[in-house]
Amino acid sequence: MAAGKNILLIISGGIAAYKVLEVIRRLRDREINIRAILTKGGEQFVTPLSVAALTENKVYQDLFSLTDEAEMGHIRLSREADLVLVAPASADILAKMATGQAGDLATTALLATNKPVMIAPAMNVEMWNHPATQANIATLESRGVIRVGPSAGDLACGETGSGRLAEPAEIIANVLDFLDGQSAPKPLAGKKAVVTSGPTHEPIDPVRYIANRSSGKQGHAIAQALCNAGADVTLVSGPVSLPDPAGVKVVRIETAREMLAAVKNALPADIAICAAAVADWRTADEAGQKLKKDGSGVIPDLRLSENPDILATISKAGASRPGLVIGFAAETEKVTEHARAKRARKGCDWILANDVAPETGTFGGDQNEIFLISGDDATTDEHWSRQSKTGIAEVLCARIIRHFS
């Protein structure tokens, strides 16, 4: 039950801050303990006195207050909560969270916390739709931050569109669902999963390699979703610039052969998801020194060898084969046709097919559109509409939970 749980509430600047007073009141009615940090922007819309009266706790504002640090330092504030709730979450604080800034008490507590974080964004529609804000949201969601809203409608600035703070009832429902879920058994508890992610780099010489445009965003999001659902997850990742998913064991590799070895080492498992874009070929003879132009105009002859097929190997692993093996088919044409043929060829249970033609922006982007191929004909296909890669990961996780239940 949520009663007796602890929330650290961070109130940032925005006209919608007044709605958070109702959130505080109704959570306190449920005997949830709340400590609040009020940013300088938040102070312009609600007073410390009103927040203190409703939380029945001191309101924290100053990072460098020696009295506060003696009584309740920012580390303790960030660590003694079951949930950190940022509401309203302005565009400014979202940007600071995404880039790891720590210039005030709120951002320092957010950077120092090891607890789940939930955000309720609120801002002007153009600010919300701006690519910088959407990139920040994608970054935060890839790290496991939970988002509530924003809603669409009339905004305080007189414009209409997305950017309204979610209604207090919606924020409260999400908080309660999260806190109640902490004490409930998670649906994939006891299951072991191995996920591959990112590209592989196949050396040509000490400075050059064969690779592809995979960012690893989808594979990392899947690993995080499975972990959130209670699975014991090992993520085998090629070279990416993404943060490690929280709570996930990460094994870093460079080549396809290293990835296969790491996956085999992670078996047995109940679930295997091959989301990595593994290079199909490697050079047959890797040069020990950098290949140089000698002025003759002769181009080096690069002979290629086929890399091991990780998905097919796992699918045919005999006694150690996971109960559910899922592959990806990155296609540029005839997406479902090629994916269906790949499923039959590899021997896996499901194929997630996506269109990675350059105009889709899928490779390296923040969104994806999926066709789930789970049978021999189109009658069992599922279409998951274009959405964030985090959203796709959550849909897949729910589908896996349904499969095992």
92 among the known binding-site residues?
no
Identify the DSSP state of 216.
S
Cα separation, 201 vs 253, whole angstroms: 9
* Residues 128 and 121 sit within 8 Å (Cβ to Cβ): yes
**pLDDT at residue number 186:** 83
- Whole-prediction pTM: 0.62
Q: Where does residue 71 rank: exposed (0-12), middle (13-18), buried (19+ CB within 10 A)? A: exposed
270 among the known binding-site residues?
no
Active site residues: 157
CA count, 13 A, side-chain hemisphere, 165: 27
CATH 3.40.50.10300 fits 192-286+302-404, yes or no: yes
In CATH terms, 6-183 corresponds, of 3.30.479.10, 3.40.50.1820, 3.30.572.10, 3.40.50.1950, to: 3.40.50.1950
186 among the known binding-site residues?
no
Cα separation, 144 vs 221, whole angstroms: 8
**pLDDT at residue number 276:** 96
Cα separation, 216 vs 240, whole angstroms: 6
Residues with pLDDT less than 70, the chain = 1, 64-74, 152-153, 155-158, 182-184, 358, 360-364
Cα separation, 24 vs 131, whole angstroms: 32
Instruction: Give me the DSSP letters along 102-159.
Output: -SSHHHHHHHH--S-EEEEE---HHHHHSHHHHHHHHHHHHTT-EE---EEEE-TTS-
Tokens for 13, please give them. Answer: 């600047």
**pLDDT at residue number 114:** 86
**pLDDT at residue number 182:** 65
Q: Where does residue 335 rank: exposed (0-12), middle (13-18), buried (19+ CB within 10 A)? A: buried
40 among the known binding-site residues?
no
Q: Enumerate residues 6+ apart whose C-beta is below 8 A from 216.
A: 197, 198, 199, 237, 238, 240, 242, 276
27 among the known binding-site residues?
no
For the chain, the domains span: 6-183, 192-286+302-404
Note the residue count of the chain: 405
**pLDDT at residue number 359:** 74
CATH topology agreement for domains 6-183 and 192-286+302-404: yes
**pLDDT at residue number 93:** 95
